[in-house]
Amino acid sequence: EQTELSEDQSKQLLSRELDDAFFDHHSAKSKAWGTLLLEHESVHPAVLSCILSVRENGGLTREGIEQTVEHFAQNKHINVETVARYAQENDLVPAEVGNLESIIEGIVLERLDFVKERGMGAMGPLMGVVMGACPGVDGKEVSAVLRTIILRHS
């Protein structure tokens, strides 16, 4: 069966006897799934699969995975609704892209002189400001949107 695993991940899953869990508990045979199993051996694979499903469907930030795993670590059975509700209650849901663009636009406009003066050099400092204003948002997404908006204004 095809997987996205590196050779090292495959060997680790086999040596720790997690290969059955890898193939039986989650539909996507991804690196993320392999990593989650290896990093959280003591957590029931069905629980990890549920958490990863919510992440894959956009209901949980990458940064929120650890906190969510810790919260549900003792459970044997949970469902995606429970995980999604936990993510919402704990601000671990990614910001919506449309909303993100308007927030970043506002931040850039508040600092327009700085952006005009520094151009793309404003990217680093503004990344920090945006990440602070939008906890839980994906850094890659922020970077892409911020770059576009800086280019538009510089």
- Summarised one tens digit per residue, pLDDT across range 78-129 is 999 999 999 999 988 887 766 888 889 999 999 999 999 999 999 999 999 9
Same domain, 78 and 128: no
Range of 30's domain? Answer: 7-89
- Asked if 115 and 122 touch (Cβ cutoff 8 Å), the reply is yes
Same domain, 54 and 117: no
Is residue 2 domain-resident? no
Same domain, 60 and 119: no
Give the Cα separation of 128 and 94 in Å (integer).
17
Same domain, 101 and 138: yes
Same domain, 38 and 17: yes
Same domain, 50 and 76: yes
Put simply, whether the predicted model's pTM sits higher than 0.85 gets the answer no
